[in-house]
Amino acid sequence: MAKKRRRLMEHERLILDAPADVSDEEVVMVDTIAAAVDVSGEVEGSVFIQGALSSLTPLQWGVITATVLEGATEKEAAVRLGISK
């Protein structure tokens, strides 16, 4: 049994749905999957963007919303907001 288990441990390291070894109530995983996204970087960026957006005037906010979020051209945004391009 020990030989079979060792062979499985050596050749089947991609099984990620179960612990590889449980000894002294400590669970050791054979492999881990790296995060596809840099979570701390995403949070930091989000906080920075929220801070920057909160400092905009209502008109600036309207321009950003129309052009970036809604995909309007600068001319369309200007007409919608009643301002010159």
For 2-60, write each residue's pLDDT tens digit: 777 676 666 655 555 555 555 556 655 555 566 677 778 888 888 888 888 889 999 99
How many angstroms separate the CA atoms of 39 and 62, rounded? 29
Q: Is the pLDDT of residue 82 over 90?
A: yes
Q: Note the pTM of the prediction, 2 decimals.
A: 0.45
- The whole-angstrom separation of Cα 80 and Cα 63 is 9
On the CB side of 52, CA atoms within 13 Å amount to: 7
pLDDT of residue 69: 87
pLDDT of residue 38: 78
